[in-house]
Amino acid sequence: MIKKIALLLFLGIFIFSCGSKKSTVRKHKVTKTKTERIIKAENPNENQVIENAEVTIDEPVKINSTEEYLARFSAIAQEEMRLYGIPASITLAQGILESNSGKGRLSMEANNHFGIKCHDWTGAKIYHDDDALQECFRKYHNAKYSYRDHSLFLTTRKRYSKLFDLDKDDYKAWAKELKAAGYATDKQYPNKLVSLIERYELYKLDKEVLGNKYKNKTKSPATVVENNTYEIEEGNEIGSSSEKNSSKVSGKEIQVKNNTYTVEKGDTLYSISKKFNTTVSDLQEINGLTEHSISLGQELKIKEKEVVESVTYTVEKGDTLYSISKKHNTTVQALQQLNHLNDTNVSVGQELLIK
């Protein structure tokens, strides 16, 4: 009897001891913090941006101008072109436009340079007023991952498949197809991309990547200049050109009095189109031009433009950028770009340009 009691006691102690060890192991189990990383596969097209819930954002480098933005991201855009076939000129123009040259809130706080929303994203997120209030956007550890995700976004979605049937040196066709595929709702989106590409000569980056394969389908503006045979209303002065290249006179677009223009030294079709608030293609069409070349003393026909009043709005108590955008049938992003705002903060009495 005593032996049985001793045996039961021994078994009880043994079982209790095992339970204690398991409990101790559970208590000391460590969960590692997951972070974003790039998976480098043997086939470059299999590279993926892997995002997890907890991401430590690299402190962004302060960018003061578009030129600084290009200096920082041109090489990254060219590498993405080599791997995924998206023209570096298009990628950079989109980055400049969507991130306000790296000064927008999404780029500063989330390293998101392309305004890519969450969709099926399972990683870190940031909420930002855009077409709707507090929309979900992707958040990246480093801006270069935003560029990689942009490449993956275009190459893995069926609706963008037609892009990759286009020549990689035809940036105008890429700009138009991006709009047609639904990347942006802004009707002027293709023109804005082309404007940036030609202003900063981003097509040269495509040429560097393509080498002998570059056929220059979309010819760059020729270097020749124009003459001032236009008039403006008495007392008005032409202000410096803004980011959107829209010439304003006391809040109004310039009205062309004469319908011809004489080319001067230093003019290009592109610079002429910006001066008269028209497009290169319109100038080519009305003058029967098949290319960008123009010569000194050449007279060009210019379509007359109507004087259009600019619309401004004074912020009132209780207003937000989102409520103002809805009131004027526009978007938060459009208001930010038009007024050079880095965030969505507005103050009572502040005057905003609506169009």
Residues 4-60 pLDDT 10s: 666 666 666 666 555 544 444 444 433 333 333 333 333 444 345 544 444 566 666
- d(CA 102, CA 169) in angstroms, rounded, equals 25
Per-residue pLDDT tens over the stretch 262-316: 888 878 887 887 778 777 878 888 888 887 788 888 888 887 555 555 688 888 8
**Is the Cβ–Cβ distance between 70 and 155 less than 8 Å?**
no
Instruction: For residue 349, give both structure tokens.
Output: 């009495």
Distance CA 317, CA 42 (A): 57
Q: Find where tokens 């003019």 sit.
A: 267
Rounded CA separation 79/145 (Å): 12
Query: In the block, which residue shows the tokens 């892009």?
Result: 163
Q: Sorting pLDDT into bands at 50, 70 and 90, what band is 225?
A: very low
CA torsion 280-285-291-297 (nearest 10°) is -80
Element (H, E) at 154: helix 143-155
Instruction: Assess contact for 86 and 116: CB atoms under 8 A.
Output: no
Q: What is the rounded distance in angstroms from the CA atom of residue 99 to the CA atom of residue 287?
A: 36
Task: Give the count of beta carbons closer than 10 Å to the beta carbon of residue 210.
Answer: 18
The per-residue pLDDT for range 79-116, each reduced to its tens digit, is: 999 999 999 999 999 999 999 999 999 999 999 999 99
**Which domains occur in the chain, in start order?**
66-213 (1.10.530.10), 221-307 (3.10.350), 312-353 (3.10.350.10)
